Structure 1
Amino acid sequence: MRNIQYFWRHPLAEQVREEGRREGRAQARAEIILRLLRARQIDVPTPTRDRILASTDPDELATWLDRSHDITDARELFTAPRCPDER
């Protein structure tokens, strides 16, 4: 009897599924950032919203999520925070 290799068990299929999971997590994190900014009543200009939604880098999104708790302008997500001693 012949051994049948089903597509969903193929390594390529697993790679595609993993990519989809990564993209889904990135999309969810971006939406959380936007939701948090909206809850804090911070206006998010369209270019800023587009940049957040376009990101697929989990580290970048994590940084933006951390910053979203303390900023007063959405564009501050993309700039490093100032040191407390800096004036």
Structure 2
Amino acid sequence: MTTMQYFWRHPLAQEVRGQGVEQGKIEKSVEMTLSILRWRGIEVPDHVREQLTVWSERAVHATVADDLFAGPNG
């Protein structure tokens, strides 16, 4: 097995790939929500975009729905 093939099977590489997948899900979630609002003609200020990102990041790790609103920027 070459070094490069081994690297991609290493637990650290798998963890990094997993984080990339999670980040991709977050970005798609935010973009879909923003697209729906745009289609409906609703303007979205920057602070709302930031809040959507916070909620999407929390949604990836939430164990209950209330986790989305816990903490700062709830």
Normalised TM-score (structure 2): 0.66
Larger deviation, residues 27-36 vs 40-49: 40-49
Equivalent residue runs for 1:23-62 within 5 Å: 23-54=23-54, 55-58=56-59
Shift >6 Å, 4+ stretches: none
Report the Cα offset of residue 58 of structure 1: 2.5
Query: Aligned partner of 2:32: which letter?
Result: I
1:37 and 1:43 in contact (8 A); partners too: yes
Corresponding residue of 2:18: 18
Unaligned residue ranges in structure 2 (runs of 5+): 66-74
Larger relative CO (CA 8 A, sep 6+): 1 or 2? 1
Deviations 1:18-52 (A, max 9, x none): 01101100110100000000001111111111222
**Larger-gyration structure (1/2):** 1
Query: Aligned partner of 2:29: which letter?
Result: R
Unaligned residue ranges in structure 1 (runs of 5+): 64-87
Separation in 2, partners of 1:4, 1:34: 44
Corresponding residue of 1:83: none
Q: Tell me the percent identity.
A: 37
Q: Which has the higher helix share?
A: 2
Normalised TM-score (structure 1): 0.57
Q: Across the two proteins, how many residue pairs are aligned to each other? A: 60
Report the Cα offset of residue 4 of structure 1: 5.9
Query: Aligned partner of 1:30: which letter?
Result: V
Corresponding residue of 2:69: none
Separation in 2, partners of 1:19, 1:57: 14
